[in-house]
Amino acid sequence: MIIRTTTDPITLHDVADPEHHPCVHMGDGENGIDVYFENEGNRQEFLGMEVEKRKVLEGNATDDYIAEG
């Protein structure tokens, strides 16, 4: 499952027209997240961030799945 977020993580503004804005895909071809940005500068700033430990989230796309926690 691909999750799509249109909130620019740098400015926290909503990207109203994501098809015409820069994007970063994190994950493999089947699972991951698409993060959209207001501009290329914000995308580059995001890519340049140092993260000590990345967390990998796994979901469950079955109909009977209930998120806990």
Does pLDDT of 69 surpass 60? no
Q: Is 47 helix (H, G, I), strand (E, B) or coil?
A: helix
pLDDT, tens digit, for every residue of 51-67?
777 677 676 667 776 66
pLDDT, tens digit, for every residue of 5-43?
999 999 999 999 999 999 999 988 788 999 999 999 999
Give the single-character DSSP code of 11: T
- Among 58, 64, 66, 67, which Cα is nearest to 33's? 58
Q: Which residue has the higher pLDDT, 69 or 35?
A: 35
